[in-house]
Amino acid sequence: MRRIAEMTDEEVLIMLKSGENEFFTLAEAHKTLAAMQIHAGIEEIRKRIYFLFRDGYLGNEPTGDGVNVYFLIFVPDN
């Protein structure tokens, strides 16, 4: 089982892209990574998603109930 801290941003984006949802919450991102045998705590996922959002790779769509829903803007091809 790999840790999210050992992964590049590109690897995280590719795994999120392969998830079942086009839009996802932090919990859904956690579920997608866990299904791919990636070990990560909630705070680790929150930080990684925040940095990808801040750098423009993820978009954010706040919902009426205050939940942040993210979506992929760009996934670099290696």
- Give the span between the Cα atoms of 62 and 16, in whole angstroms: 19
Secondary structure letter of residue 55 according to DSSP: T
pLDDT by residue, tens only, the chain of 78 residues: 899 999 999 999 999 999 888 999 999 999 999 999 999 999 999 999 999 999 999 999 989 999 999 999 999 986
pTM attached to this predicted model? 0.90
Q: What is the pLDDT of residue 37?
A: 96
Q: What is the pLDDT of residue 78?
A: 63
